[in-house]
Structure 1
Amino acid sequence: MPDLTMELAAGGRVAGVDEAGRGPLAGPVVAAAVILPADTASGLAALLDDSKKLTAEQRLAAFLALRASTAEIGIGAASVTEILKLNILHASMLAMRRAVSRLRIAPDLALVDGNYPPKLGCPIRCVVGGDALCLSIAAASIVAKVVRDTAMTRLAARFPGYGWHANAGYATALHRDALRRLGATHHHRAAFGTVAQLRLELTIAD
């Protein structure tokens, strides 16, 4: 289980930073930055873990608990257009910068999940597998995932057939089949291999 060991050792205001949505075929990439208080309640801490290990219901409960707590939360995103222009890695870094910039309190240190540091206005420490080690990164992973999944559910109502309410834009069999039947929307990442290949197949078929 993640804990506050790294945050407490660093001292000062420490923000955990993580993103959700690098892999999907559609939708934005979303990042979150979370500063947890040093005296984070044990009840809240018990809800926090790597978002991939939690069910949707557990993630939502943790998200609501974070929103009701004294934690500082910043959220940022990069659009499909920005993903196409920058590539997914640099768009993810942009989303992280936006998330940190939207914190009401500037952090003294950012603990960033992964091994590639975004350019932030504070010192950075990359933590591989950080969402399973650092409580603030786990919190950020939950916030980013819930916000992105909610956005994809809303898009699903406007673009039915792709199953985004259930697959969040990932390349499930249903999503790939819908791309073949319905074609791509402007929310699809045209440069991603599966989308590009299916578009090519449809062009050749025509």
Structure 2
Amino acid sequence: MANDTLTVTVLDRNQQPLALAVVSINGVESANQTSTVAIMDQVDRLFVPYVLVVRENSQVKFPNSDNIRHQVYSFSEVKPFELPLYSNREAPEIRFEQSGIVVLGCNIHDHMQAYIYVSPHELSRQTDNAGQVMLPAGASNVHIWYPSLTDTVTDEMVVPLVEGQTQLTVTLPIQAQQQNPPPVSALQQRFNRRKNNN
């Protein structure tokens, strides 16, 4: 039934839909969530996805779909680690035992940054390209997290709900974030032109 569902819409400060926001609730019955192996890939010198949501004790694989090597690391308190330089033939795997925010980087490519949200909540889902996510109704609060929400990376916005509420629209005081690859070098531009002319 429709009223068994809460639809949350997350907008940025310009009232535009915000994809990849993490929306969480507690205290509701939901389908059994089994911890599976999640994937944080590297494609075109970017982490994919930009934000990955996992439960505590989840395993995350770090494949490298590029034809160059990457060295993934995190200095985050919840899970500091460093993966040695590796190519696309390997996919190291790491377990994330504690809830919190893990900020990822690459020692080789400074522009690469992504986040693993290890959820402390009973149910966490991400907004789609329309900024929406559907959750079971019945929670008393909605928790919303997005990179750069505040100066403290772990801060969440908590929005109270009223009994029977089925719609919630939240505007965050931020703009959408993304990884920005560096501009193509002059040498790479020449190489690309030659390759395309053949």
- TM-score, structure 2 as length reference: 0.25
Give the structure with the larger strand fraction. Answer: 2
- TM-score, structure 1 as length reference: 0.24
Larger radius of gyration: 2
